[in-house]
Structure 1
């Protein structure tokens, strides 16, 4: 049987005019979600699609996940939730980033479900629901060690004991050190959450984010909610990444020039050439989300992270030279054959040859930031092998 070719959907800038392109492998994204769903069993598996599906586009990501069997989605903002509903009307959508009174009519109309994480929000929700015969559902967020959003464990236990309170449809907490399974705080959070599950018996619960799914001592839960791992990022620190690469970022080479030994490169003259150097100047910069901290020199972070970022072209990795600027980044291609690359060619910034998280580490950050910083000047190609009707 002949293998089916992926269908290509395009978006963003015209490829003839754009300085770079993003290739998003939706088949790989679906394969990652299915892998995480299998690992989560017997729990159900949701998908976190906040920040416009980690920069990849809700309108493209949600439909393929729905087709794969995902029925529950988490977003940060109600506005994002409405965009999920527009492409998956029957999806169950939870809104993580708090609740404000003026948004109540939207929740009444849209079937979105807020995640409430303070006594103030709970009181407000109760007040606004008072005149309704059928109360709108909500999720209860409890802080078990993150010190960010959520009721304290003590507040949640007291709330559970008060029979006058409307019960949530889901109980959640968030792991603070999930990417480091050896950290003692994980076990403390698991134990606290188990007490909460007992107090809220019969209510669906969720503790496992991407790294949490990989914990062997995670205990019982009903719903996992993967995020970064679904998009190809590393779920655990200091462990091989089992996820498939989803995103490839490439920039076009604008010009190739030769700098002479002793000359300097870029803003601040931070790099002095130690040899005659062939330089590929590429149409990508921090305005496109390719972070200035990836620079080869001339930024404070280089004191902490010795090497800057790299590109991949003509079968080899090549280092960034000088500073990443708003629209342009330079690479040292001296070690490539003279005719190996030319203006108009593409250089990979991360993808199959430079892992997302390796590129992030070179910039002193994490894969989350690189994905969610992707700008709108790229030509985007979405690859998806459609199933037969």
Structure 2
């Protein structure tokens, strides 16, 4: 006899795969004939690269980007055989054979990386695919102007490489009027002319919205796929992808003057109903955020967020509207990831990638309905 277990989870993170699909389509439409890759680093921004990659592959995506070698190895079984997986950080010394064995394409950021990858190509007796990243002003990664000079003066350094992509990264693309955007684009154009002909890529998520001059041959969206706003101060044209729901553990009534939470920094000004929800900063939820929702009703955080719990002022609800086990939204229709980030003094990228593995996860696909389908779980040539 099979016995079903009750749902013991304290919170559920819902990932809308259909929304990711629609966001990819929307970005591809904006790009016109430019290829649309996908950045799946940090486990697809914390949402599960093994679940996200097949959705994007089914939409025709064939160029995937991760940060680290280990991420590329983990991603390779979840994308088509012919897909290209780029490793943005390039390779640590001594890892070249491993990358080649897993058919990964390093993004070479320094002369040392170029030389190590070229040495392997010579040893194997065949050209190896590679991308080159140029530093056009962000001063983070990529070939410096001096390194570019050496490669331009000594083109034999690239003779053993199959150059799949020349790329750079925009520092201020979310601010459309920032002068650095055009400065980097012009530097990119000048630098590309000094290298062998290859497809070019400059636009990240926000760069796509700077217009066709920034699109080149391929764009590399990441955060926009997952519903984060691409343009600072503008309405978000993309669909939200995540919803975080926490369950109520306990309810209590307190009197005027009673304190709540560590440090007793919050005190009731009158009779107050406090609801404790089972999410905290150990789940990646920031300590400085301030709101949950039950339907349309806002429930302010009362006191500080604890490691495993949040206390909410539920006084605006009718008595009995909340019971232990009831669900409230911490991220959802009334409160986006970007709104939570703004309250926490950070960016949506950080909130999304910090959401922990303790949540019960639901992957939804298909059009929203009263009973959506669920799966439950803890460069162009």
Q: Same fold (TM over 0.5)?
A: yes
Equivalent in 106, 111, 123 of residue 119 of structure 1: 111
Higher relative contact order (CA 8 A, sep 6+): 1
Which position in structure 1 is the counterpart of 2:65? 74
Which position in structure 2 is the counterpart of 1:92? 84
Deviation readout 1:211-236 (Å, 9 max, x if unpaired): 00000363451000001011000111
Equivalent in 335, 340, 344 of residue 359 of structure 1: 340
Equivalent in 248, 258, 268 of residue 263 of structure 1: 258
1:220 and 1:253, CA in 2 relative to 1: closer, same or farther beyond 3 A?
Answer: closer
Distance 2:286 2:51 in 1: 25
- The unaligned stretches of length 5 or more in structure 1 are 1-13, 295-308
Aligned pairs, number: 359
Q: CA deviation at 1:81?
A: 0.9
Which position in structure 2 is the counterpart of 1:17? 8
Distance 1:153 1:182 in 2: 25
Q: CA deviation at 1:182?
A: 0.8
1:326 and 1:77, CA in 2 relative to 1: closer, same or farther beyond 3 A?
Answer: same
Counterpart mapping for 1:281-292 below 5 A: 281-292=276-287
Q: Does structure 1 residue 198 correspond to structure 2 residue 198?
A: no
Which position in structure 2 is the counterpart of 1:39? 30
TM score, norm. by length of structure 2: 0.91
Distance 1:126 1:201 in 2: 16
Distance 1:186 1:245 in 2: 27
Distance 2:6 2:125 in 1: 54
Equivalent in 137, 154, 157 of residue 165 of structure 1: 157
Q: Does structure 1 residue 150 correspond to structure 2 residue 153?
A: no
- Structure 1 residues 211-220 or 263-272, which shifts more? 211-220
Q: CA deviation at 1:125?
A: 1.9
The ranges of structure 1 where at least 4 consecutive aligned residues each deviate by more than 6 angstroms after the TM superposition are: none
Q: CA deviation at 1:43?
A: 0.8
Q: Does structure 1 residue 226 correspond to structure 2 residue 227?
A: no
Distance 1:192 1:15 in 2: 59
Q: Does structure 1 residue 103 correspond to structure 2 residue 95?
A: yes
1:377 and 1:116, CA in 2 relative to 1: closer, same or farther beyond 3 A?
Answer: same
Distance 1:230 1:136 in 2: 30
Deviation readout 1:298-337 (Å, 9 max, x if unpaired): xxxxxxxxxxx21111421211110101000011111111
RMSD of equivalent CA atoms = 1.6
TM score, norm. by length of structure 1: 0.89
Q: CA deviation at 1:154?
A: 4.3
Q: CA deviation at 1:256?
A: 1.1
